[in-house]
Structure 1
Amino acid sequence: MTDLLVHDATVVTVNRENQILRNGSIRVTDGRITSVEPTESGDRTATADRVIDASGKVVIPGLIDAHRHTDFTLVQGLFSELDGSELLKEALALYHTAESVLGDSFFEAAWDLACLRQLTHGVTTVNAMDFTPELGAEAIGEAGLRGVIGPELADLLNPVSADEQLQAARRFVDSYHGNYDGRVTASIAPGGEVGCSRALWEGVAVLRAEYPELRLHTHLYDSAAADTMAAGSGADDPLDLLEQYGLLDERTLLTHLLHADRDDARRIAESGAHVLHCPTVYSYFQAGDQAWFPLPALQEFGANVVIGLDDPFWFDSWDLIQEAKHARLLSNFEYGAQQWSSYELLQMLTIDAARALGLDDQVGSLEPGKQADFVVIDVDTPRHQPYSNLPSVLMNSVTAGDIETVVVDGDVLMRNKSVESLDVERVHAAAMRERERLQAQTGWKTSLGGSTPPDISILRRISARPVLRAVNQYGHGVVHRYF
């Protein structure tokens, strides 16, 4: 018995043959794809628990956000007009205010809202690094989404000791890895060469040896002082730091690489590590002197480069398709046209990202035997018709507003833009309540015209902590996101 049948769709499989079916049908049983074939007349009258007539629609694999921080979903819009250094300092202070004053309900509402936004933007899998991973695992699991989540470890920029953070990470892995029918998995997520002491890296190496199946997810070279910070842990540079602890291989995910050079790109590619590129955040603030990351060298040496949206409070976006578009435009501006084709961008958001997360045997393409994670996009509108070169339409013209239906593990989470797996009113009510509490506790003012920080910076209204001393010592451009 077929649980779900989609017929008459243009199916972009992203399989090894790069196959696109003009009129295709997808059958799903027990959460797995059983067939992807041309539509036959009988498909239109076939019996299934759920049938989706996708005439005039395009079906692609579910989108994968390869790098995300989610704790601060509810501050979206507060920091958008600040310069980078002011934003960072206010964010650091605001996090500790929320942690100590607002409590779990603030972060629970943030995660639920994040899941709603990911779902409605066609993101079926997210790779997250956060300080509230337990809340995230439960929110993602209950929403029906797929997630790889790691507790962010950064003892130099966090008052909690390395041992305590590592123990908490081990508890998280033991409690949540493989939960929700395998949709939620754990990662090991040290913040990077800036925020981690030698003791923490030693503990990370031990933790990874205990859990060799987990991905290691970290920031690297997002600061001009990266080599200096790595030297503090006894290494020549950040890659040497990872190599010393046996942490640089095909299970390693390296985020940003803003200040990496051609030789770094070669070493990364040779190790098999994956690169998580977040283009908009750095073009929004242009952190540091270097404008872009070493894309041509990474391409030359064959590194797997995929795309993530990073923090929601930097530039207020949840649209991964638009992020891919920005990646191409900004890379073309920096290095010349034709850095990526449209189809390559689509692969980066699907099968390449799945490979980075070690999930390419489960998701990332539409093939028999894989989990049924896909989105249905409406292109049968005056805004898109007529068209040719479908990959170009998907990567240049489509936005998240065109996504109509979202399926994960064969379950329909959103149908005809109506969310089925979340109580939308409840999520919005909680978000509004917690956002109001946030503003009342911190003194932030908001209006339709913008937002205003407190008259007296909240940096002056919380007790001095190691994290703030670290920011003052190293300055903007060194610390990207560590709380």
Structure 2
Amino acid sequence: MTDLLIHDAIVVTVNSENQILQNGSIRVTDGAISAVETTELGDRDSTAEHVIDASGKVVIPGLIDSHRHTDFTLVQGLFSELDGTELLKEAFALYHTAEPTLGDSFFEAAWQLACLRQLTHGITTVNAMDFTPELGAEAIGESGLRGMIGPELADFLDPASADEQLVEARRFIETYHDTYDGRVTASIAPGGEAGCSRELWEGVAELRADYPDLRLHTHLYDSAEADTMAAGSGADDPLDLLDRFDLLDDRTLLTHLLHADRDNARRIADAGAHVLHCPTVYSYFQAGRQTWFPLPALQEFDTNVVIGLDDPFWFDSWDLIQEAKHARLLANFEYGAQQWSSYDLLKMLTIKAARALGLDDQIGSLEPGKRADLVVIDVDTPRHQPYSNLPSVLMNTVTAGDVETVVVNGEILMEERSVESMDVEKVRAAATRERERLQTRTGWETSLAGSTPPDNSILRRISARPLLRAVTQYGRGFLNQHIR
């Protein structure tokens, strides 16, 4: 018997034929899509366990946020008016003070709020790199969402030693990988050439050898000093660093690449690695004199490029659809019009993102046999009607506020904007309480008009050890680039 039937929908399948059904039905049985077909008269009187009349609505695959840091969801608005260097100083300080000062309750509330925001924004899968991955795995699993999570490994930025971090990463993998009915999986997530010692990279290589099916998720070329930083680990450049440790292949996820060039793009494509692009974070702060994301070269070599939202404290956004729109506008501004079509962008948020995470046999398109991760979007409003070119409407006009219903693994997590899988008021109350504790303990002053950091930066109250190790490894250029 069909568990869920959605009928009379415009179904954007994102399948290999790019099929769009003008009047379609989706049947879900045991969490999987059992049929995607034209709506029959009998569908409207179906005896399925749950029936959704989607007349005038669009159904697309669930959205996938390909790169996210989640620990500091609760700092929204605090950093928004700081320049990039000031923000980084406060960010480093929070990373080193929040855990002992605020405790697990702060991060638990942050993860719960993040899950609620992702769910209500139509994001059904997130690829996260965080310092509190256990809390994240449990929050994602209990909310009904799907997530890939890696403990962020960065011994130049974290007081814990490389060995300690690697032991914890192994424990996390053994405990949480392939849990919550397979919705929660683990990755191996070194912070990148800027934050990791040679010793840590050696340990990462051992982890990768022991867990060959896991994705390797890292930052690369997000600084003009990237080659110098890689040299500190005995490599010619960041790609050579990964290659030396046998970490560059089709299971590798490379984030940012802001300062990569055409040759780097070719090497990435040759390896089959995937690129996670987060455009707004850099355009928001204009982070110094820099080249821009090398999109034409990546396209030339047919690299799989997908989109992520990055840190919530950078620009306070959870709308992945709008991030895709920004990606196109910024690319067009830099390189000329028509860098991506609307359908390209939709695929980057769905099937291409699923391929990057190694999940394209399970999610990313609406096809029989795949898990039922889908989003119902209301376009039957004056803001959207009348229209043609539906992909353009989805990527240019629709926002996360148009998301009406969210299904993951066949379970309805939100229907007609009513969240079913989480206690919304409890999540909001915890977030409010912990946000107030954050402000009290750190000395931030906030009002409706804005936010002001403490008079004496909390950066001065943390141990200098991680920063001094960074100077030893990379020279004064690291501090000048990142925390001056």
**Alignment RMSD (CA, Å):** 1.2
Aligned to 1:125: 125
Aligned to 1:93: 93
Aligned to 2:155: 155
- In structure 1, C-alpha distance between the alignment counterparts of 2:55 and 2:151, rounded to whole Å: 43
Structure 1 unaligned runs (5+)? Answer: none
Aligned to 2:388: 388
- In structure 1, C-alpha distance between the alignment counterparts of 2:270 and 2:463, rounded to whole Å: 46
Contact 1:5-1:25 at 8 Å conserved across structures: yes
Q: What is the Cα deviation at residue 473 of structure 1?
A: 3.8
Aligned to 2:411: 411
Can you list the C-alpha shifts for 1:175-234, whole angstroms capped at 9, x where unaligned? 000000000000000000111111111110110000000000000000101001111111
Aligned AA for 1:4? L
Q: What is the Cα deviation at residue 476 of structure 1?
A: 6.1
TM-score (norm 2): 0.98
Contact 2:85-2:482 at 8 Å conserved across structures: no
- In structure 2, C-alpha distance between the alignment counterparts of 1:427 and 1:435, rounded to whole Å: 12
Aligned to 1:15: 15
Equivalent residue runs for 1:263-302 within 5 Å: 263-302=263-302
Q: What is the Cα deviation at residue 140 of structure 1?
A: 0.1
Q: What is the Cα deviation at residue 455 of structure 1?
A: 1.7
Aligned to 1:305: 305
Equivalent residue runs for 1:232-247 within 5 Å: 232-247=232-247
Q: Secondary structure at the match of 1:36?
A: strand
- In structure 1, C-alpha distance between the alignment counterparts of 2:264 and 2:91, rounded to whole Å: 31
Aligned to 2:314: 314
2:174 is equivalent to residue 171 of structure 1:
no
2:459 is equivalent to residue 428 of structure 1:
no
Aligned to 2:107: 107
- In structure 1, C-alpha distance between the alignment counterparts of 2:463 and 2:192, rounded to whole Å: 25
Q: What is the Cα deviation at residue 94 of structure 1?
A: 1.8
Q: What is the Cα deviation at residue 408 of structure 1?
A: 0.1
Equivalent residue runs for 1:186-201 within 5 Å: 186-201=186-201
Can you list the C-alpha shifts for 1:215-274, whole angstroms capped at 9, x where unaligned? 000000001010011111111110001011110000000000000000000000010000
Contact 2:33-2:367 at 8 Å conserved across structures: yes
Aligned to 1:363: 363
Aligned to 2:352: 352
Contact 1:224-1:477 at 8 Å conserved across structures: no
- In structure 2, C-alpha distance between the alignment counterparts of 1:432 and 1:242, rounded to whole Å: 42
Q: Secondary structure at the match of 2:305?
A: strand
Aligned to 2:73: 73
Identity in percent: 82
Aligned AA for 1:392? S
Contact 1:109-1:430 at 8 Å conserved across structures: yes
Aligned to 2:329: 329
Aligned to 1:31: 31
- In structure 1, C-alpha distance between the alignment counterparts of 2:481 and 2:186, rounded to whole Å: 27
- In structure 1, C-alpha distance between the alignment counterparts of 2:477 and 2:61, rounded to whole Å: 42
Q: Secondary structure at the match of 2:188?
A: strand
The 1:58–1:271 alpha-carbon spacing in structure 2 relative to 1, beyond 3 Å, is: same
TM-score (norm 1): 0.98
Contact 1:194-1:478 at 8 Å conserved across structures: no
- In structure 1, C-alpha distance between the alignment counterparts of 2:57 and 2:479, rounded to whole Å: 46
Contact 1:176-1:185 at 8 Å conserved across structures: yes
- In structure 1, C-alpha distance between the alignment counterparts of 2:292 and 2:350, rounded to whole Å: 23
2:340 is equivalent to residue 340 of structure 1:
yes
Contact 1:250-1:274 at 8 Å conserved across structures: yes
The 1:293–1:397 alpha-carbon spacing in structure 2 relative to 1, beyond 3 Å, is: same
Aligned to 2:215: 215
The 1:468–1:23 alpha-carbon spacing in structure 2 relative to 1, beyond 3 Å, is: farther
How many pairs were matched up? 480
